[in-house]
Amino acid sequence: MRKNSIKNTRINGEVQRALAEIIRSGIKDPRISPLTSVVAVEVAPDLKSCKAWISVLGGDEARQATYQGLKSAEGYIRSQLARSINLRNTPTITFVMDQSIEYGVNMSRRIDEVISADEEAGAGGNAGGNT
């Protein structure tokens, strides 16, 4: 099976959806942040392994605690994944921390700061207008 086949793309989407649901509502570990997202999932063509990119909105402490919570719940997550998705093999999950959501929030905040600073500078210096 080719890596980017339609079947593999569909499996990646289903595993991502199921993982997000399991992490959101199935795990009761207090270390896992409620602001945890499954950004992407890549299942190997043989269905034996899976990489899941996880993003946590918060500081480094929240990110590390969430990672440790997910690592300790890996067996439970895999068993729940096997129940929710009917695959020939249930993949072994490797969690990879992704900072794309936090990066996007930070960039959005910086853009807003620049726009507000520009508006303040423009309102004070251009009082006469053009005629």
Nearest to 52 by CA among 41, 39, 67, 63: 41
Mean pLDDT across 58-86: 90
In tens, the pLDDT along 18-41 reads 999 999 888 888 899 888 889 999
Q: What is the pLDDT of residue 125?
A: 53
Task: Write down the pLDDT at residue 1.
Answer: 41
Mean pLDDT computed over 75-96: 90
Q: How confident is the model at residue 120 (pLDDT cuts 50, 70, 90)?
A: confident
Question: How many Å from the N-terminal Cα to the C-terminal Cα in the chain?
Answer: 68
